[in-house]
Every structure is written in structure tokens, then in C-alpha cells.
Amino acid sequence: MAVLPLLLAAQPALAHGGVVAEDDLCVINIGYLKAHFKMFVPARSGHREYCEDIPLRGETVFVMEYLHDGLSAAPIDFRIVRNTTGKGNFARLSDIDALPDLDAVTVSRHPSAVAPGVYTALHEFDDDGEYIGIVVAQAGDKRYTAVFPFTVGDTGAGVWPWLLAAIVILQLNFWYWTRRRRRPHAAAGVLAALLLAGAHAPATAEEYSAAGDRFRVTATPSLQPLTINRMHAWDLVLTDDNGEPVSGARIDVAGGMPAHDHGLPTQPQVTGLEAPGHYRIEGLRFHMPGEWELVLTITAGPASERLVLSLVL
């Protein structure tokens, strides 16, 4: 069996500390309590989400969306410390407990507080380096702690180039000996590889459109391909029935899953862009697979119309 697919398949196990990757999401485990975890640097990277490492400095927003109702009533204490354990991304709670003076390496402390539904915290990172986030939740008379090491900025490539080089060498070695044993099948293997490469070639950007009596709209999601539980934006191009761009319109967004009789999980907002007829919907997220609708109520001058964009995840 090939080495490379096995090692790649095992990557989720390499996640840092209390944050793990599950179905394209980052989940933090605070004891038995779980939450979706993400970090943003809005001033420098907009809505881009980071799970474990942040490649740039700046004001960072930490967000935990609870997956367990118990977190809504639990006082949460959040602290960021410099990673002086010498363990890098392998630092654990026992390494934190072994530090002689936790306050001396603390760069940010958010005192214990109850935050129903979603927990958020801000910190301005001025220096590149290795850090550790410590989340403590008080559930009844018990305290649960999650520890997640992460890096900020450019801290060097570390061991990953050596690890990847080892993976490549092992894979090449596997292919070499496989070819020696099964030389007649080499051409078939090359053909299969080419076919797979073609099947996984990047597709053109996915677009959605709708037309009515007064307006036409074409929408392109910033997230390609669309996946569940990822915050993203859509870019809209609005024209009239003659194909002329329509600027200065008011666009209200609603929608949801008609088959499940519920609306959108977020409250997206529309802003106009400089290019004529161009708009952007910010703050969209689809939290489950199935058939979705975006209902756009467009008003420009005396004209008003409702257009529906349909999609399937």
C-alpha cells in the first residue's frame, strides 16, 4: 500500500492540542464540552478563517460557537501565553502546569465571564512567535480546560519540510519497487494518474443567477466549492431587464431551507461596491447539506422585485 495516501489521511491527528479538524471545521474540546473554533484578522485578511496558526500579525478575533448547551451558562476564562515550554505545537496542559510563573508569560487575559451562544475575544499581536491559548470552562463544580498551541506570523518552516521530504522519498521508493515487480502495468498506472489529475482539475467558479421582470442578478460565492459551516461572502452583479448595471439599489437578503422550514443561520448584510452594478453579501454560512434558497428583495427607485437563488449543498 502506498505511503503517501496513508500519511495524508492521518493529518487530522496532527492538530494542535485541544483544537481538532472535523469535517472541514475546527472544533475545540473543553473536556466533554465542544465548540466550533476559529480566528480572524479582519483588518488584514477580511473573513478568512484560521484554525491553528495565524500567518500574520494584527488585531485577532477568537470565536467559539458552542456545540454544547452547557457552555452558554458556563463562565469561561481565556488566556494567551507565550509558548516557553520548549514543546512547540506538542505542548499540553501538563507543560503549562509545569511553568514556574504563568502570569509572567501571559500576554492577554480575559477574566471569567458567561457568554451565551458565542464566545468572542480580541487581542492585538505585535510580535511573531509561538503562543498557547488556554480556555477554562466552569461547569457546575467542575473546571474543564483546553490548551491549544499556535503560531503568529513567520516563525520558520520548522520540521515540516523534513517531514514532507521523508514522505516523498518513501513514496518514490514505493513506486520504484512496485514498477520493478509490475512493469507491464506501468502504462496503466500513468494513465490512471492522468485521468485522476484531470478529474481533480480546478473547475471554473460556480455562479448562480436569477431573472425577473425588472432585474437580473448573477452571484459568485467567494468560497469555492461551497461547503457547510464556513463563513464567506457572495459577489453580486445586478442589471436591469436591458442588461444595464444597476447601482445604488437596496438589497435585503433572506432565505433558508424550504424543506426544513427554517431560515438562514446568520444575518447577512449587503454593501455596494465601486464598480457599477456590483454588490457584496457579507456573513453567509450554510450549516447543513441540502437545498437552500437565497431570497433577494431588490429595490431601485420605484422598482422593486424579489429574486430567488437556489443551490444544493
Q: Is the pLDDT confidence value at 46 over 90?
A: no
d(CA 177, CA 188): 16
Give buried/exposed letters for 55-71 (b at 16+ CB in 10 A, else e): ebbbebebbbbbeeebb
| Per-residue pLDDT at 313 | 87
| Per-residue pLDDT at 19 | 66
Q: Is the pLDDT confidence value at 203 over 70?
A: no
For residue 93, give the 3-state DSSP assignment: helix
Q: Is the pLDDT confidence value at 5 over 60?
A: no
| Per-residue pLDDT at 180 | 61
| Per-residue pLDDT at 18 | 62
Q: Is the pLDDT confidence value at 2 over 80?
A: no
- What does pLDDT average to over the chain? 83
| Per-residue pLDDT at 124 | 94
| Per-residue pLDDT at 270 | 94
Strand partners, 296: 253, 307
Residue with the larger pLDDT of the pair 185 and 285? 285
Q: Is the pLDDT confidence value at 188 over 90?
A: no
208-312 fold: Immunoglobulin-like (2.60.40)
| Least confident stretch, 24-38, 41-55, 182-196 | 182-196
- Phi first, then psi, for residue 141 (nearest 5°) are -100, 15
**How is the chain split into domains, by residue range?**
14-152, 208-312
Dump pLDDT digits (tens) for 59-116: 999 999 998 888 999 999 999 999 999 988 889 999 999 999 999 999 999 989 999 9
Q: Is the pLDDT confidence value at 305 over 90?
A: yes
Residue with the larger pLDDT of the pair 164 and 242? 242
Residue with the larger pLDDT of the pair 2 and 254? 254
Supply the CATH classification number for the domain 14-152. 2.60.40.10
Q: Ramachandran region of residue 158, left (φ > 0), alpha (ψ -120 to 50) or beta? A: left
| CA 138 to the chain's CA centroid | 27
- The percent of residues in the chain predicted with pLDDT above 90, rounded, is 53
Query: In which band, very low, low, confident or very high, does the pLDDT at 181 lie, cut at 50, 70 and 90?
Result: low
d(CA 300, CA 215): 10
| Per-residue pLDDT at 69 | 86
Q: Is the pLDDT confidence value at 191 over 70?
A: no
Domains 14-152 and 208-312 alike in fold = yes
